[in-house]
Amino acid sequence: MGRFLLHRLLRLLPATWAILSIIFLLSRSFSQQQLATGRLADVSSTAHSASGAQRELAERQLRARLGLAEPLFYFSAAPRATAGLAARWQWNGTTNQYHRWLRQLSRAELGFSFRDEQPVTALLQRSLGYTLPLTAGAAACTIGLAWLAAPYLGWPRRRRSALLSALYLLDALPLFVVALLLLLLLANPDMLAWFPAYGLGREDPAASGLAQLQFRLYYLALPILALTLVSLPALIVQLDAALRQELRADYVVTARAKGLPEALVMRRHALRNALLPALTLLTELLPGLVAGSVVVELVYSLPGMGRRLAEAAAAHDYPVLLGGVLLIALVRLVAQVLADVLYFLTDPRIRLSQ
């Protein structure tokens, strides 16, 4: 197990380095663009009231604060002194933007927001406090409902076809349509006002932990339900296809011949092996829920990371936007490793050589 996990982690190193490098180049490019157009506060505040020398000084100070005054990478091509001399490569050592950015990233420092002038890490951390319960609750509900629905996939052909048709119809609906329909049906005073329409309300600091949890779940019920309804069909359809194949296997025929109940054959024998192909969808589930939280948090006015990233994109706040992209990419890589580990634990036939 240790060798297998080490092998998977080593295989992720090139992908991690590529993601980090791309995000670094985008952050440098966007910072240069913002600086050139004068959208940053330090430059725009002196654009009309200062002389040329003062504006140049403010720009140099801002470049130094953003780390743009140093060379971009460990080595670079020195500019030609005259037209007759060719450019030459020079080694910049560790005094470069890339090394400084990696050093800051190792300390969880993602720079400062262009709009709020606050640390990006602190902004994302506050937003994750709302997004993590939302995505974790939706993931738990999706997996739990798929597990509960699995025995019903063994229904007769007609009833099973009706169930799959309903799932295909649900899968065809976009997330924002599902979120709005739930809002109109379950948070509408003219129909069923069971849940709040938006926001998270105001928690009572003096309330007990259980009361605060119930209060938070009351406001997150519709967002979790929307994410669950959108994620559930693909998982059940994949589970159904794998289960159809397993039910024709010899060991299932043998179990039925021994007189075991159909529910026991389904859960103890067929379902366990049918879960293996569904693990690939579990890899996509968590990143997909994080991406879906953008829509859900905008519809229900939740102060989570999805809404934060949408507002950052609208305001050209690139440090916050790229910090969120980096976090989602790392979650995707971790999910892939988790799926490989689950494969290894659930199927003893899988070995490192495979």
pTM: 0.75
pLDDT greater than 70 at residue 43: no
pLDDT greater than 80 at residue 75: no
Residue 245 is encoded by which pair of tokens?
């194949």
Confidence of residue 336 (pLDDT cuts 50, 70, 90): confident
Confidence of residue 251 (pLDDT cuts 50, 70, 90): confident
Question: Quick one: pLDDT at residue 45?
Answer: 52
pLDDT greater than 60 at residue 351: no
To the nearest 10 degrees (0 to 180), the angle between helices 271-299 and 305-314 is: 50
Question: Quick one: pLDDT at residue 353?
Answer: 52
Burial class for 147, CB neighbours closer than 10 Å (0-12, 13-18, 19+): middle
Angle (CA) 304-309-312 rounded to 5° is 125
Q: Pairing relation of β-strands 88-91 and 75-78? A: antiparallel
Instruction: Please state the rounded mean pLDDT for residues 311-322.
Output: 85
pLDDT greater than 80 at residue 276: no
Confidence of residue 86 (pLDDT cuts 50, 70, 90): low
277 or 87, which is more confident?
277
The rounded percent of the chain whose pLDDT value lies above 70 is 77
Terminal-residue alpha carbon distance, the chain: 14
